[in-house]
A and B are shown apart, each in its own frame.
Chain A
Amino acid sequence: MATVRLSFSPAPVHVRTARLVGVAVARRAGVAEELLDEVRLAIGEACTRAVALHNQYGLADLVTVEMSDSEAYAVRVIDHAPIEASVGLTKLPPDELADESLTDEALTTGVGFALLAGFVDDLQVRPVEDGPGTEVRMVWPVQRR
């Protein structure tokens, strides 16, 4: 089992780094080449969400991304924002997407969740075991060489 753990301060500029590392580890783990774009997007969305939550709550804590390839390729993105902040994860219906009353933040959150749910078959969002925070866990199959 190989595990790579990356922690970064909650700044947008680091999300790209997390995407690059996540895809590099996925490729090495044996995730099919045609899935790598989806892996990149999903890790980016999960990290963007974590960074947004930390900024919303003024938290300087690090966001953690943990990648392991024990059986499949599993990625956990962990934030430390109060748990109630994660409850509003819902996919928006098309007629609400362009609605004037919808804020940019709400739109981005809804669209981000739609992308996560759309691109990751095995997706779980759950509270972290100790302290406040949420873990977004995504799993992709690997091809053993």
Chain B
Amino acid sequence: MELSLATRTVDEHTVLEVGGEVDVYTAPRLRERLVELVDSGVRNVVVDLGGVEFLDSTGLGVLVGAMKRLRVANGRFSLVCSKEALLKIFRITALDQVFPIFPTIEAATRDSDGSATS
């Protein structure tokens, strides 16, 4: 399935809903979208991976890149993911210790005091 990207606003958070396959071919589009968001002044990004069917190292690299970019801009970056297959990928790469990962958008957006935890 092709990559799909959609943004919406929940309170002061910009939620980027990602669907389909995030791989070496589609990841540049995800990177582009995240850079656009940060460049447009968004500082509170939640990436919802609920619709993602496949995620590889290139996609993970894009997510880390976005997190670094936001950190430099004093912004916040978090992920929403509850699929065990994807969570296993984060555990194996130790990226579960790098990203704040929440099971639901509600949980990710509830934590709005800047103290997101994984």
Contact = CB atoms under 8 A, between A and B. Distances in A.
B92 A48 contact: no
B25 A15 contact: yes
B61 A44 contact: no
Interface in B14-69: 21, 23-25, 54, 56-58, 60-62, 64-65, 67-68
A111 to B, nearest CB: 4
Interface stretch (A25-33, A61-69, A71-79, A91-99): A91-99
Query: How would you classify the secondary structure of chain B's contact residues: helix, strand, loop or mixed?
Result: helix
Interface residues of B, number: 25
Nearest to B85: A37
Interface in B77-118: 85, 89, 92-95, 97-98
Interface stretch (A100-108, A123-131, A135-143): A100-108
Contacts of A111: 57, 60-61, 93, 95
A8 interface: no
Contacts of B85: 37
B56 A48 contact: yes
A104 B47 CA distance: 19
A107 B56 contact: no
A93 B65 CA distance: 17
A13 B26 CA distance: 8
A16 B58 contact: no
Interface of A: 12-13, 15-16, 19, 37, 40-41, 44-45, 48, 51-52, 92-94, 97-98, 100, 104, 107-109, 111-112, 114-115, 118-119
6 contacts: A41-B54, A44-B54, A98-B64, A107-B61, A114-B94, A118-B92
